[in-house]
């Protein structure tokens, strides 16, 4: 996996821009729910790129996509001038959200915990997180860039029933389901203050800076269902949220 190291060191000194050399295309641009579209790309002169919602890919290729709702696909790479990107929109007609579909609202995620990581290129981290959530843990993952053209990324999962969140002593609990939200930012500098929700940074953008810093916040959403009921209810047990965060963080930072 080859990633240009300057992806981290230039984030604060170079504005992220669209690049006419990036060719990202979706065909057709609108589909009925349940149908597929073909996302294709061609970016000469690079070895590795990342597409939000797809993962790390080679510089040329295509993939079939079938999202359940309107989706923006954003391609990211780094050049000497900084981060370049291109986006295409896919409209999904007649998308239906079932009554029991668990897709938490952005503000529903609870107990955010902040972590820092140095020396890891951002695209490497995004690719590792994508693979862990989707392929290893079995979550449905949505990925976005917020706001557009800024080096801040949001990964959100749908809910997934997790047996490890129900202990053998909980005789009345039939199941628990979990969703994650991970906010990722890259910057240069030293943190001057942290809280459970955010961090502030002394941004010293020097030409010889050697301290790339990747920060990510993990928050979660947990519901439980009693054995005699079909209704899902919001769980208030903070220990369970801490356990869910610890599990993801441990697997994310384990050697791969």
Q: Which residues contact 101 (CB under 8 A, 6 or more apart)?
A: 158
Over residues 92-150, the pLDDT tens digits come to: 998 765 545 688 888 899 999 999 988 787 788 889 999 999 999 999 899 988 765 56
Domains of the chain: 6-93 (2.60.40.2470), 106-253 (3.30.530.50)
Q: Which residues contact 114 (CB under 8 A, 6 or more apart)?
A: 194, 195, 196, 197, 198, 199, 215, 216, 217
What pLDDT score was predicted for residue 213?
A: 76
Asked if residue 205 has pLDDT above 70, the reply is no
What does pTM read for this prediction? 0.76
- Ranges of H-type helices in 10-71: none
Percent of the chain surpassing pLDDT 90: 46
At 82, the pLDDT band (50, 70, 90 cuts) reads low
Tell me the β-bridge partners of 212: 188
Q: Which residues contact 94 (CB under 8 A, 6 or more apart)?
A: 32, 33
Asked if residue 239 has pLDDT above 80, the reply is yes
């Amino acid at each position: 996996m080859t990633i240009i190291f300057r992806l981290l060191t230039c984030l604060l000194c170079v504005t992220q821009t669209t690049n006419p050399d990036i060719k990202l295309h979706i065909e057709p641009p609108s589909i009925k729910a349940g149908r597929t579209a073909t996302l294709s790309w061609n970016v000469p002169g690079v070895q590795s790129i990342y597409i939000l919602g797809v993962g790390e890919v080679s510089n040329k290729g295509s993939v079939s996509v079938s999202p359940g709702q309107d989706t923006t696909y954003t391609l990211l790479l780094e050049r000497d001038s900084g981060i370049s990107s291109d986006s295409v929109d896919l409209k999904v007609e007649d998308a239906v959200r079932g009554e029991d579909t668990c897709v938490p609202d952005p503000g529903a995620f609870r107990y955010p915990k902040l972590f820092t990581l140095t020396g890891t290129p951002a695209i490497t981290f995004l690719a590792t997180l994508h693979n862990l959530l989707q392929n290893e843990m079995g979550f449905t993952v949505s990925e976005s860039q917020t706001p557009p053209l800024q080096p801040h990324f949001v990964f959100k999962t749908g809910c997934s029933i997790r047996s490890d969140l129900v202990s053998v002593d909980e005789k009345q609990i039939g199941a628990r389901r979990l969703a994650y939200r991970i906010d990722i930012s890259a910057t240069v500098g030293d943190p001057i203050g942290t809280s459970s929700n955010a961090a502030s940074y002394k941004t010293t953008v020097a030409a010889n800076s050697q301290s790339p810093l990747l920060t990510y916040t993990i928050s979660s959403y947990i519901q439980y269902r009693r054995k005699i009921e079909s209704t899902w209810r919001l769980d208030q047990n903070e220990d369970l949220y801490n356990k869910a965060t610890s599990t993801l963080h441990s697997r994310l930072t384990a050697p791969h």
